[in-house]
Amino acid sequence: MVKENLCVQSVARISHRRPQQEAGEICGVSFGSRGEVVMNDLQWIQSAKNGDEDAYAKLVRRHSGGLHRTVARILADDTEAWDVVQMAFLKAWQKLDRYNPRYSFTTWLYRIGTNLAIDLLRSRTSRERAHKAGTEHRLRLVGTGEGAGARADSNETDNVLQQLVGVLTPQQRSAFVLREMEGLETAEVAEVLGCSATTVRNHIFQARKALRRELRVRFPEYLPASERG
């Protein structure tokens, strides 16, 4: 799974028993490059299936940050995203027996979380969305001269998205966030969203078109100086 942003803490170090050993596996136990024992998702899932709640808590700690970031970008709401993340982990626990180890746990979890986020978006009325868009904080301008986009930092990128994401459908939002912001492959996005790769490309194309138009109108400061007019 080629991911730039997912699974930042993809490996949990739980002890330092073998300080000099290279990365490898002995008797089914994996060791990291510095010799520490590492547990992968499958081992923890297996333990969790056997009733080990601590193992599941470790999975929650490993994946909740990344899932929250994705869901928050889809919902454009940081607080609501934590509720969705909790619900996703609860649902995943309830369906753990149905989890197929052939697929990545991250993909499975993101599918649950993204579906919950999409359901939530659909349940919001258009009035609520309009109200939210109107009351959001105005993005601070980051100077003139050369394009502000060249210096846009993380929060600013997320702030811009928060204010523009309302022009996208729930499916377009999800596809765009997973593909463009989280860096997932098309096939992975298709698996998460439960659609074809062609549909994902179409969602990305439509989302990019809409965001391009909105950026030019609402955030000209993020365009290069030559583009602002």
Partner 1 sequence: MNCGIFREMIGPYVDETLEEGRRHWFRTHLRGCPTCRESALREEPSLLFAMAPAAPGEPEEIEACAVAVMGRIRQDRLERRLHRRRRPWLAVAAAATLVISGGIAWLTMVGGGSGPLQPAVEARREAELQNSPPTVEVEMAGEEVRVYQFANEADMDTAVYFIVDPALEL
Of 41, 77, 158, 191, the residue at the interface with partner 1 (CB under 8 A) is 158
The 10 Å CB-count burial string (b at 16+, else e) for 162-199 is bbbbbebebbbbbbbbbbebbebebebbbbbbeeeeee
Can you name the residues that pair with 39 across neighbouring β-strands? 12
Stretch that binds partner 1, among 11-19, 28-36, 134-142, 205-213 (CB under 8 A): 205-213
Shortest Å, Cβ 176 to partner 1 = 7
Q: Tell me if 185 contacts partner 1 by CB under 8 A.
A: yes
Residue placing its CB nearer to partner 1 in the complex, 30 or 186? 186
Please identify, using beta-carbon distances, which residue of 11 and 215 lies nearer to partner 1.
215
Q: Binder to partner 1 among 44, 56, 108, 110 (CB under 8 A)? A: 56
Alpha carbon 6 to chain centroid, angstroms? 7
Work out whether 44 is an interface residue with partner 1 (CB under 8 A).
no
- Of 119, 128, 136, 146, the residue at the interface with partner 1 (CB under 8 A) is 146
Q: How far is the C-alpha of 219 from the C-alpha of 5, rounded, in Å?
A: 25
Cβ distance 41 to 59 under 8 Å? Answer: yes
Using rule CB under 8 A, residue 157 touches partner 1: yes
The sign of the dihedral angle between the CA atoms of 107, 109, 110, 116 is: positive
Among 2, 98, 137, 229, which residue sits at the site for partner 1 (rule: CB under 8 A)?
A: 2
Give the Å distances, CA to CA, from 92 to 10, 12, 17, 74, 102: 18, 20, 32, 20, 16
What amino acid is encoded at 41 in this protein? D
Residue 223, interface with partner 1 (CB under 8 A)?
Answer: yes
- Dig out the tokens for 210 from the structure: 């809409």
Asked if 217 is part of the footprint of partner 1 (rule: CB under 8 A), the reply reads: no
Could you give the 3-state DSSP secondary structure of residue 36?
coil
Q: Quick check: 116 binds partner 1 (CB under 8 A)?
A: no
How many of the chain's residues bind partner 1 (CB under 8 A)? 53
Residue 160 lies near partner 1 (rule: CB under 8 A): yes
Sign of CA dihedral 102, 84, 174, 64: negative
- List interacting residues with partner 1 (CB under 8 A): 2, 4-5, 8-9, 53, 56-57, 60-61, 64-66, 68-69, 73, 82, 85-86, 89-90, 93-94, 146-147, 149-150, 152-154, 157-158, 160-161, 176, 180-181, 183, 185-186, 201, 204-205, 208, 211-212, 215-216, 222-224, 226-227
